[in-house]
């Protein structure tokens, strides 16, 4: 009995010591560079946002935030890397809604659970998508596009199967009854050349990918997919304004950590993100990138993720989208 009591006492002391060490570690966090994993290729929207936010966050925390691209499988490879990483706050993910909210309904063998394996910290940006067309297309707005789509099939490109551009096109076809055929590319930027040349008539992508071409008249904008007009391009109407009710399909990007990361670390990261994303200079920088700076409480981001998974699951079932 004495041995058991002594053993129990020593175990309690060890647990207390470990918890105190973890608390001290969280208080001192960070003491070394932080890896920010981008599960997509360099130069894309995720990468650009990660570098803009990472630089500011690193300055605020006093340690470098090193952006590391781990592309593949529509974001699944890099995301899985973070899901399996040590939950100490030194490996974070620049998450995209396509991977976290859409992929669970598209991939039967997803190697991670967005809700079980990750701790949401905060969104950092909402990126409105834009429907753009080759200049020769005989439609300049949503009503004309719907009229044209009732008489012929319309091909549209996106950044890939299961991307937000893909789902937005399927949602538009579903709500309007027009016939749209999806042409997947390996990135939004790779599809641009084909739209400019007229190889495909339509592309649904993030504004930063096509903003320059719209300004010089090499492409024309049909509509924004968000519920409200984007302040950076206030002259482009929304799909809703074109008569398609309840159409709201922008992209969001946010920071996540492995699920067991200490709450004190998560709270510190969320607080610093809220500060830097509220700065006028950062809001202006985001607008220049075709994005809207946003921040959330951790619990609100988790609720949004849960709601979006349910929303896109219903749409994917209704439209019978499959990843081959």
Please give the full DSSP string across 66-90, using - where no structure is assigned. Answer: EEEE---GGGHHHHHHHHTS-SSSS
Residues in contact with 4: Cβ distance below 8 Å, sequence separation at least 6, in sequence order: none
What are the residue ranges of helices labelled H in the chain?
Answer: 2-28, 45-61, 76-83, 97, 103-106, 142-149, 164-176, 188-196, 207-215, 263-277, 280-288, 298-319
Phi, psi of 144 (to 5 degrees): -70, -35
Q: Hey, what domains does the chain have and what are their CATH numbers?
A: 26-127+250-319 (3.40.190.150), 129-242 (3.40.190.10)
Give the mean pLDDT per block of 10 residues along the chain (324 residues). 52 52 68 96 88 96 97 93 98 96 92 98 95 97 97 93 90 94 81 93 91 94 94 93 94 97 98 97 91 96 97 89 72
Q: How many CB atoms lie within 10 A of CB 194?
A: 17
Residue 91 is given by DSSP the state E
Query: What pLDDT sits at residue 5?
Result: 54
Q: Report the candidate in 317, 274, 309 with the shortest Cα–Cα distance to residue 60.
A: 274
Pairwise CA distance, residues 169 & 222, whole Å? 13
Using N-to-C axis directions, what is the helix angle for 298-319 and 263-277, rounded to 10°?
80
Task: Give CA separation, 136 vs 26, 140, 198, 217, in Å.
Answer: 58, 10, 7, 12
Q: Which pair of structure tokens corresponds to residue 209?
A: 């990918």
Which tokens sit at 139? 């439609």
Encoded tokens for 280: 């006028």
How far is the C-alpha of 315 from the C-alpha of 179, rounded, in Å? 16
Query: Distance between CA 107 and CA 117 in Å, rounded?
Result: 16
Q: Which of 59, 56, 72, 68 is nearest to 93 (CA)?
A: 68
* Tokens describing residue 300: 């609100």
Q: In this predicted structure, what is the pLDDT of residue 279?
A: 96
Spatial distance between the Cα atoms of 235 and 223, rounded to a whole number of angstroms: 10
Contact by Cβ (8 Å): 115, 104? no
């Amino acid at each position: 009995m004495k041995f058991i009591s002594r053993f129990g006492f020593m175990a309690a002391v060890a647990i207390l010591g470990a918890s105190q060490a973890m608390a001290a570690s969280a208080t001192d966090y960070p003491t070394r560079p932080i890896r920010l994993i981008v599960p997509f290729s360099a130069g894309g929207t995720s990468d650009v946002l990660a570098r803009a936010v990472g630089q500011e966050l690193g300055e605020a925390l006093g340690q470098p935030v090193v952006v590391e691209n781990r592309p593949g499988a529509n974001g699944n490879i890099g995301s899985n890397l973070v899901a399996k990483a040590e939950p100490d706050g030194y490996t974070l993910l620049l998450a995209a809604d396509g991977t976290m909210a859409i992929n669970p309904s598209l991939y039967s063998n997803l190697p991670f659970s967005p809700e079980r394996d990750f701790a949401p910290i905060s969104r950092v940006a909402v990126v409105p998508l834009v429907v753009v067309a080759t200049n020769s297309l005989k439609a300049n707005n949503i009503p004309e596009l719907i009229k044209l789509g009732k008489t012929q099939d319309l091909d549209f490109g996106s950044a890939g199967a299961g991307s937000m551009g893909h789902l937005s096109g399927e949602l538009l076809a579903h709500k309007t009854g027009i016939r749209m055929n999806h042409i997947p590319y390996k990135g939004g930027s790779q599809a641009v050349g084909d739209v400019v040349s007229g190889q495909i008539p339509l592309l649904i992508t993030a504004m930063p990918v096509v903003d320059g071409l719209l300004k010089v008249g090499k492409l024309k904008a049909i509509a924004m997919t968000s519920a409200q007009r984007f302040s950076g391009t206030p002259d482009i109407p929304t799909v809703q304004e074109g008569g398609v009710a309840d159409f709201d399909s922008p992209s969001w990007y946010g920071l996540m950590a492995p699920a067991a990361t200490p709450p004190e670390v998560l709270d510190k990261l969320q607080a610093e993100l809220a500060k830097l994303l509220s700065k006028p200079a950062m809001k202006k920088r985001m607008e220049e990138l075709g994005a809207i700076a946003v921040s959330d409480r951790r619990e609100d981001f988790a609720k949004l993720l849960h709601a979006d998974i349910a929303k896109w699951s219903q749409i994917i079932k209704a439209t019978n989208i499959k990843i081959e």
